[in-house]
Amino acid sequence: MSKTETHAFQTEVNQLLKLMIHALYSNKEIFLRELVSNASDALDKLRFEAVSNDKLTEGESELAITVGFDKEARTVTITDNGIGMTRDEVIANIGTIANSGTKKFLDSLSGDQAKDSNLIGQFGVGFYASFIVADNVELITRKAGDNVSEGTKWISQGEGEFTLETVTKATKGTEIILHLKEDMDEFLNDSRLKNIITTYSDHISFPIKMLEEQKDEEGKDTGKKVLEQVNKATALWRLPKSEISEEEYNNFYQTLSHDFDAPVATLHNKVEGSLEYTSLLYLPKKAPFDLYDRERRYGLKLYVKRVFIMDDAENLLPTYLRFVRGVIDSDDLPLNVSREILQSNRVVDKIRAASVKRILGAIAKMAKAEDKTAYNEFIAQFGSVLKEGVVEDMANKDKISQLLRFASTTSGSAEPTVALADYIDRMQADQDAIYYITADSYAAAAGSPHLEMFRKKGIEVLLLSEKIDEWLVNHLTDFEGKTLTSITTADLKAFDDEADSKLTDEDKKDREALTEKVKATISELVSDVQITHRLTESPACVVSAEGDMSAQMARMMEQMGQAMPKQLPVLELNPDHALVKQLASIKDEAELKEWSLFLLEQAQLAEGDQLDNPAEFIKRMNSLLAEKV
């Protein structure tokens, strides 16, 4: 006797379903592409596992997908004789949203349907696309090799819950029965279904079959129906480029990636010689939501002599190119290759090096295009992961550096559009450093007092505000012979030579006396007090002492839970500022200390530092203000 159990979907599934049904309504035929793609994956997996355990084929020699429909029952059915699922796998794969990236995706939704519909394109939907056209979905599956009585039937209306029942299923694999919604009759049509299959799934490497009228020798209907293959079933990447249209490339990409956008670049190469392989690589338009999710597996699909070996073969590309999707089909790897073997394999190393070269070449081509829109969009999506490459891929460091784009004081916008080469072109005649500032946000970088002198002198400064930037500049210390220099640690004495030369000895002495005096009152909080070369408007700023880590780096290490030895900053004073001028005349030591602390604390705040005791700062500021009123 079989028992029916009712389970609730994870709440996220409900939310996702609603959104997706709405967003994809105008593109509803893609449900078939998604289900065929899953079926094809299941066949790939079976074929791979059967290499080491031929019992799994259960005596069926042909692996295929069947699509059928029933006008009376108003159902469309997709069947595969692939790997199938156990009951537990059904619960894990179909009832839950397993990866944390999906949660992040859902958290980022605004509730504004128009905006959210756009977002759904960044998320691969897969099986749930069934609910765009169906209001009741049955999935009947049995894992290859399991007893026929161990099948599982899953039914759901896509509204909060699903039922599970143990059933007998004679054949391995999965059958999906879609009970169509009222207005979906268009799919109860032979030529409509065929058309969708040949449009989106022509190059799935397994046959997709539909029932056709059998004809007799004279071409007349015999009244009998037989299964006939609808798609070409040639692995697309094995065809010569000249035989593949852009549309076919794009459709194959969408089947492969579950992406709803077309890719921005397609790289198809057949390599012959000492090493033989084919690579078909795609650069997506949008970054997936889980691009920074450490648990997420990335990589290409690996085939050996057309036999699918694994998904997400991460060793075929370096981590910083994990957004690239595609297929590698090698003739030189063994069929029983494992992830462990891939980690240190000469063939893999060569394929990877060549693929990286092609991908970086394609990105560089995009960067050189007259119209920068596509490249700016690409950088907005993938600029930060590309920066990881400077650290990860020493061999290609120069090439990658050329591809990076930054915001700067000259570009005047938060969008990263400035190449290091652009910066060098604009450098002043006697300038030999590429100046930058790092901060927590673009606004903090662009508003930093450290920029004052650079603005006055018209020197461009790169404004770096991504988390990765601090690491980037630690590894990218120079570019085309110019040193990358932080304006918060740079020695800028030279900037002031002109002004300094006008100072009388008396002035110099006064300034020295002032810094000594201030330093004495707050000596436990600063490593030094100096006259600044950086400020024109603000009274004070803090900089890192020579040899110390930059303040931004120290903050990041602390956020990561690293205990940091306390680094005392250098306080720099602007002698031309009214507040600083006034300091010189204060005789009372307690009062001087209050003012000195006030200047130090406001400089730290401007830097994005957390004050140890913000309440005390406010109190101090208020009492100093009160004295003035």
Nearer to ligand ADP, 83 or 407 (CB): 83
Nearest distance from C-beta of residue 41 to ligand ADP, angstroms:
6
Which is closer to ligand ADP, CB of 85 or CB of 386?
A: 85
- The CB-of-154 to ligand ADP minimum distance in angstroms stands at 11
Binding status of residue 95 toward ligand ADP by CB under 6 A: no
The region of 6-14, 76-84, 395-403, 463-471 touching ligand ADP under the rule CB under 6 A is 76-84
Q: What is the distance between the terminal CA atoms of the chain, rounded to a whole angstrom?
A: 89
Please state the φ and ψ torsions of residue 488, each to the nearest 5 degrees.
-85, -15
CB of 434 to ligand ADP, least distance (A): 43
Phi and psi, residue 567, nearest 5°: -100, 125
Q: What is the residue-wise DSSP string for 297-337? A: ---EEEEETTEEEEEEEGGGS-GGGTT-EEEEEESSS-TT-
According to CB under 6 A, which one of 9, 17, 30, 82 is a site residue for ligand ADP? Answer: 82
Q: Is residue 471 a contact point for ligand ADP (CB under 6 A)?
A: no
CA atoms within 13 A on the CB side of 343: 3
Residue whose pair of structure tokens reads 């919604």 in the numeric block:
181
Window of 79-87, 450-458, 471-479, 488-496 that interacts with ligand ADP by CB under 6 A: 79-87
Stretch of 11-19, 122-130, 475-483, 584-592 contacting ligand ADP, by CB under 6 A? 122-130
**C-alpha closest to that of 303 among 333, 258, 273, 265:** 333
Q: Judged by CB under 6 A, which of 17, 36, 85, 434 binds ligand ADP?
A: 85
> Which residue stretch of 36-44, 157-165, 186-194, 337-345 sits at the interface with ligand ADP (rule: CB under 6 A)?
36-44
Any contact of residue 145 with ligand ADP (CB under 6 A)?
A: no
Q: Does 155 bind ligand ADP (CB under 6 A)?
A: no
- Distance between CA atoms of residues 279 and 599, nearest Å: 60
Site string for ligand ADP, 498-537 (x = CB under 6 A): ----------------------------------------
Choice from 126, 145, 150, 232 touching ligand ADP (CB under 6 A): 126
Residues of span 243-282 touching ligand ADP by CB under 6 A = 258
Sign of CA dihedral 110, 111, 117, 120: positive
Q: Which two tokens stand for residue 62?
A: 């042909």
User: Three-state SS string across 511-576, please?
Assistant: HHHHHHHHHHHCCCCCCEEEECCCCCCCCEEEECCCCCCCHHHHHHHHHCCCCCCCCCCEEEECCC
626: part of which helix (H) or strand (E)? helix 614-628
Residue with tokens 């970054």: 287
Torsion of CA 46, 52, 57, 58, to 10 degrees: -140
32 binds ligand ADP (CB under 6 A): no
Q: How far is the CB of 158 from ligand ADP (least distance, A)?
A: 13
Residue 132 makes contact with ligand ADP by CB under 6 A: no
Query: At 583, which helix (H) or strand (E)?
Result: helix 578-584
489 binds ligand ADP (CB under 6 A): no
Q: How far is the CB of 34 from ligand ADP (least distance, A)?
A: 6
Shortest distance in whole angstroms from residue 21 CB to ligand ADP: 15
Which of the ranges 81-89, 198-206, 292-300, 358-366 carries the binding residues for ligand ADP, by CB under 6 A? 81-89
Of the residues 30, 38, 105, 302, which one makes contact with ligand ADP according to CB under 6 A: 38
Element (H, E) at 163: strand 161-167
Of the candidates 494, 322, 485, 302, which has an alpha carbon nearest to the alpha carbon of residue 392?
322
Reduced to 3 states (helix: H, G, I; strand: E, B; else coil), residue 158 is coil
Distance, C-alpha 371 to centroid of its chain: 24
Q: What would the x/- binding string for ligand ADP be over residues 358 to 387, using CB under 6 A?
A: ------------------------------
Decide whether 193 or 492 has the Cβ nearer to ligand ADP.
193
SS3 category, 106: helix
Q: Quick one: which of 83, 177, 439, 487 contacts ligand ADP (CB under 6 A)?
A: 83
Q: How far is the CB of 333 from ligand ADP (least distance, A)?
A: 24
Binders in 166-225 for ligand ADP, by CB under 6 A = 174
Q: At closest approach, how far in Å is the CB of 313 from ligand ADP?
A: 16
Whole-number minimum distance, CB 455 to ligand ADP, in Å? 50
Within 13 Å, how many C-alpha atoms sit on residue 459's CB side? 22
Positions touching ligand ADP (CB under 6 A) are 38-39, 42, 80, 82-85, 93-94, 124, 126-128, 174, 258
